[in-house]
């Protein structure tokens, strides 16, 4: 019988790419999610019965144990960018990761890959970064041979970064950003998936890998690149950090005052704290080079999915060609 991997958060942005690649490797894939009925799209990643979504709540021991039973490897892709309801940073990124690793060890799971993030630091003033680091420590305590991946900001067709800001360009002539000079090293989602698969297959030595693409750019430069691709002109305005903290605090307060009925999906104080720091690979850390992976560049990939934000959408290129032809008449 083929080997089995359980992927927590396997229907999410990164998880689905890992699930697809693991299916191509011939493994059975158990996609552990909170809402299996919303993850049915993963089934066609393999032959009938090869990829199956199952119910799993990482805050519950029994759920996690059930999802891990019989697995040869586990991948944890669960993480949040902002807190909402019971999904607190410490519940998800610290205790959730610890629970998965502990039960994986108890169940005799041979290998574990854990998706963290660049900037994970127990001394950070950001709860996101702090709980990421504590989750890493808990994973390594229970599974010392684990492979931990720390990607920079991840881009791809379903990303919440370029898609979000490209969508904002439809709202007006100004594009506000917080931390315009903060540097990022965007990495393609499938490159992260390739690294995770190597960890599952035992082709990556244990330890922490920081994953960044071939280009480092400031937030402003990334927005300028995005605007060029979607063929829109917008004034990029940097929101000073003190002002951003006030804005984030107001949105956080609104969410708290409404008991979560109004969710802060705009900007949180914790996100502002993270945006104060560069999000690039640390010199000397293991990375793509140690895995033999050459990460792909942004532009060709961005054009593949950001075209829909152009003023003419899929017809933008045709309109541009027609305009040139008329100019030659």
**Per-residue pLDDT band at 141 (split at 50, 70, 90):** very high
Residue 310 confidence (pLDDT): 96
**Per-residue pLDDT band at 84 (split at 50, 70, 90):** confident
Residue 312 confidence (pLDDT): 72
> How far is residue 265 from each of residues 22, 56, 242, measured CA to CA in Å?
32, 25, 19
Dump pLDDT digits (tens) for 111-122. 999 999 999 999
Which of 149-158 are b and which e, b meaning 16 or more Cβ less than 10 Å from the residue's Cβ? bbbbbbbbee
Residue 328 confidence (pLDDT): 56
Query: What are residue 39's phi and psi, to 5 degrees?
Result: -115, 15
- What residue ranges do the domains of the chain occupy? 4-156+186-217+278-296
Question: Residue 321 pLDDT > 70, yes or no?
Answer: no
Of 308 and 260, the one with more pLDDT: 308
Pair 150, 113: CB distance under 8 Å:
no
Residue 126 CA to residue 272 CA, distance in Å, equals 9
Dump pLDDT digits (tens) for 256-297. 999 888 899 999 999 999 999 999 999 999 999 999 999 999
Residue 316 confidence (pLDDT): 55
Residue 120 CA to residue 165 CA, distance in Å, equals 24
Residue 13 CA to residue 159 CA, distance in Å, equals 7
Residue 132 CA to residue 272 CA, distance in Å, equals 17
Q: Which helix (H) or strand (E) holds 4?
A: strand 4-8
Question: Residue 322 pLDDT > 60, yes or no?
Answer: no
Dump pLDDT digits (tens) for 240-259. 999 999 999 999 999 999 98
Which of 277-299 are b and which e, b meaning 16 or more Cβ less than 10 Å from the residue's Cβ? bbbbbeeeebbbeebebebeebe
Alpha-carbon dihedral 102, 290, 157, 24, rounded to 10 degrees: -70
Residue 27 confidence (pLDDT): 98
Average pLDDT value for residue range 226-232 = 97
Query: What are residue 239's phi and psi, to 5 degrees?
Result: -90, 120
| Overall pTM surpassing 0.75 (yes/no) | yes
Q: Among 47-56, 203-212, 304-313, where is mean pLDDT lowest? A: 304-313
Residue 319 confidence (pLDDT): 55
Residue 307 confidence (pLDDT): 96
Residue 179 confidence (pLDDT): 96
CATH second-level architecture of 4-156+186-217+278-296?
Answer: 3-Layer(aba) Sandwich (3.40)
Average pLDDT value for residue range 191-198 = 98
Pair 30, 6: CB distance under 8 Å:
yes
Question: Residue 162 pLDDT > 60, yes or no?
Answer: yes
Longest CA–CA span in the chain (Å) reads 75
Dump pLDDT digits (tens) for 12-35. 999 999 999 999 999 999 999 999
Question: Residue 327 pLDDT > 90, yes or no?
Answer: no
Q: Among 82-91, 121-130, 184-193, where is mean pLDDT lowest? A: 82-91
Q: Which helix (H) or strand (E) holds 252?
A: helix 241-257
> DSSP character for 229?
H
Determine how many CB atoms are found less than 10 A away from the CB of residue 93: 30
Alpha-carbon dihedral 67, 68, 70, 72, rounded to 10 degrees: 130
- In DSSP terms, 187 is beta-bridged to 154
């Amino acid at each position: 019988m083929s080997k089995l991997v359980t992927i927590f958060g396997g229907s999410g942005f990164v998880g689905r790419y890992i699930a697809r690649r693991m299916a191509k490797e011939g493994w059975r894939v158990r996609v552990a999610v909170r809402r299996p009925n919303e993850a049915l799209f993963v089934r066609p990643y393999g032959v009938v019965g090869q990829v199956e979504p199952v119910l799993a709540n990482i805050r519950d021991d029994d759920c996690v144990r059930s999802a891990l039973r019989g697995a040869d490897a586990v991948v944890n892709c669960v993480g949040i960018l902002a807190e909402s309801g019971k999904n607190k940073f410490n519940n998800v990124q610290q205790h959730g990761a610890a629970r998965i690793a502990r039960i994986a060890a108890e169940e005799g799971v041979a290998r574990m890959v854990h998706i963290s993030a660049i900037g994970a630091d127990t001394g950070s003033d950001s709860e996101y970064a702090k709980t990421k680091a504590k989750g890493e420590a808990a994973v390594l305590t229970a599974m010392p041979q684990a492979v931990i991946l720390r990607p920079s900001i991840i881009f791809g067709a379903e990303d919440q970064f370029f898609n979000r800001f490209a969508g904002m360009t439809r709202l007006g002539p100004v594009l506000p950003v917080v931390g315009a000079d903060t540097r990022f090293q965007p990495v393609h989602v499938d490159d992260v998936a390739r690294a995770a698969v190597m960890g599952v297959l035992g082709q990556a030595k244990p330890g922490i890998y920081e994953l960044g693409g071939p280009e480092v750019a400031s937030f402003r430069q990334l927005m300028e690149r995005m605007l060029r691709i979607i063929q829109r002109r917008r004034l990029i305005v940097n929101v000073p950090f003190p002002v951003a903290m006030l804005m984030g605090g107001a949105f956080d307060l609104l969410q708290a005052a409404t008991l979560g009925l109004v969710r802060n999906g705009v900007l949180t104080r914790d996100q502002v704290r993270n945006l104060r720091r560069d999000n690039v690979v640390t010199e000397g850390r293991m990375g793509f080079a140690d895995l033999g992976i050459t990460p792909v560049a942004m532009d060709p990939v961005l054009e593949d999915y950001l075209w829909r934000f152009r003023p003419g959408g899929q017809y933008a290129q045709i309109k541009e060609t027609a305009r040139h032809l008329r100019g030659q008449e």
